[in-house]
């Protein structure tokens, strides 16, 4: 019986961790969109918040979550120039 409880606990922990990932990934995308918007307007922007969230995502220990790359200002500018 304890094996079943352990499996249930493990699944619940993975689900909680995955929900944390989803929230962080959504926040990362929001920060990227903010930086893109500022860049399009010719205003200064920073990738610090994006990369802080990226680093938190990359510390999540689930095998099926791919790592995310840190974003540079040049990457944002290049994206905007291609639009």
For residue 42, the enclosing domain spans: 2-82
* pLDDT tens column, 64-77: 888 999 999 999 99
Q: What is the pTM of this model?
A: 0.85
How many domains does the chain fold into? Answer: 1
On whether the CB atoms of residues 57 and 65 are closer than 8 A, the answer is yes
How far apart CA 68 and CA 57 sit, in angstroms, is: 7
CA triple 65-75-46, angle to 5 deg: 90
* pLDDT tens column, 41-65: 999 999 999 999 999 999 997 888 8
How far apart CA 54 and CA 81 sit, in angstroms, is: 23
DSSP H or E run through 48: helix 48-58
């Amino acid at each position: 019986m304890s094996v079943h409880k352990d499996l249930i606990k493990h699944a619940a922990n993975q689900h909680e961790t995955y929900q944390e990932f989803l929230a962080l990934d959504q926040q990362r995308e929001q920060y990227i969109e903010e930086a893109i918007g500022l860049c399009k307007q010719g205003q200064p922007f920073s990738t610090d918040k994006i990369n802080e969230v990226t680093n938190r995502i990359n510390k999540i220990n689930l095998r099926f979550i791919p790592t995310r790359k840190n974003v540079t200002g040049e990457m944002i500018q290049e994206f905007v120039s291609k639009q």
